[in-house]
């Protein structure tokens, strides 16, 4: 059935389109993390060269101060492994369209795992919960970004460590 999206060829084309859109979604999310005065760009990363740009952008955003700076080491390793697998597919075939159906599925699964991690660790992701302020039984909605929560936890941990070190030094050295 030429011209329709039924059958194995239609399914393969749907997978290829889905992978290309998923890669574009990562870039769109990263473009949203840029400063307001910079134009937002949506790039379709369906070839090796465009994908290399996506990889560089993701790795840059995982650095300190980046949108994904709070990705833990184990998840960074997973991202690196999945990006390497995807890069190998692009190096082998050049484009999503040239990949076999199994390779497209592998590419989509890798991308899905990366997206899940980056979405969960996005420092701009808003998290809201109901809290009762100290001294009150009335709850209210409190919303903070994932980055604000992580920074507060890190600062609290650092404060406690500093106090512990001072207490140890005061006891030992006087």
Tens of pLDDT, residues 58-74: 999 999 999 999 999 99
Instruction: Write the CB contacts of 103 (distance below 8 Å, at least 6 apart in sequence).
Output: 89, 92, 93
| Statement: residue 42 has pLDDT above 90 | no
- Residues of the chain with pLDDT > 90: what percent? 61
pLDDT the model gives residue 162:
86
How far apart, in whole angstroms, are the C-alpha atoms of residue 74 and residue 120?
A: 14
Burial of 109 from C-beta contacts in 10 A (0-12 / 13-18 / 19+): middle
Give the residue-averaged pLDDT of 84-93.
95
- Indicate the range of 30-39, 102-111, 116-125 predicted with least confidence: 30-39
Distances 129 to 81, 134, 144, 163 between C-alpha atoms, Å: 34, 15, 9, 30
Q: Is pLDDT of 164 > 50?
A: yes
Report the mean per-residue pLDDT for the chain: 83
| Residue of 59, 33, 30 lying closest to 43 (CA atoms) | 30
pLDDT of residue 108: 94
Q: DSSP state, 123?
A: T
State how far the Cα of 13 lies from the Cα of 7, in Å rounded to an integer.
10
H-only helix segments in the chain: 7-32, 48-61, 73-93, 101-120, 146-173
The whole-angstrom separation of Cα 113 and Cα 78 is 9
């Amino acid at each position: 059935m030429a011209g329709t999206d039924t059958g194995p060829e239609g399914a393969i084309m749907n997978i290829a389109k889905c992978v290309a859109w998923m890669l574009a979604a990562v870039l769109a999310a990263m473009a949203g993390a840029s400063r307001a005065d910079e134009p937002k760009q949506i790039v379709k990363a369906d070839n090796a060269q465009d994908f290399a740009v996506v990889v560089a952008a993701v790795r840059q955003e995982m650095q300190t101060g980046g949108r994904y700076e709070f990705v833990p080491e184990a998840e960074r390793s997973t991202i690196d492994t999945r990006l390497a697998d995807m890069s190998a597919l692009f190096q082998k075939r050049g484009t999503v369209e040239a990949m076999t159906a199994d390779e497209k599925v592998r590419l989509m699964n890798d991308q899905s795992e990366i997206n899940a991690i980056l979405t969960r660790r996005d420092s701009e992701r808003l998290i809201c919960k109901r809290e009762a302020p100290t001294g009150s039984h009335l709850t209210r909605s409190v919303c903070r970004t994932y980055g604000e929560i992580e920074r507060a936890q890190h600062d609290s941990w650092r404060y406690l460590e500093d106090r512990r070190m001072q207490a140890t030094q005061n006891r030992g050295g006087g």
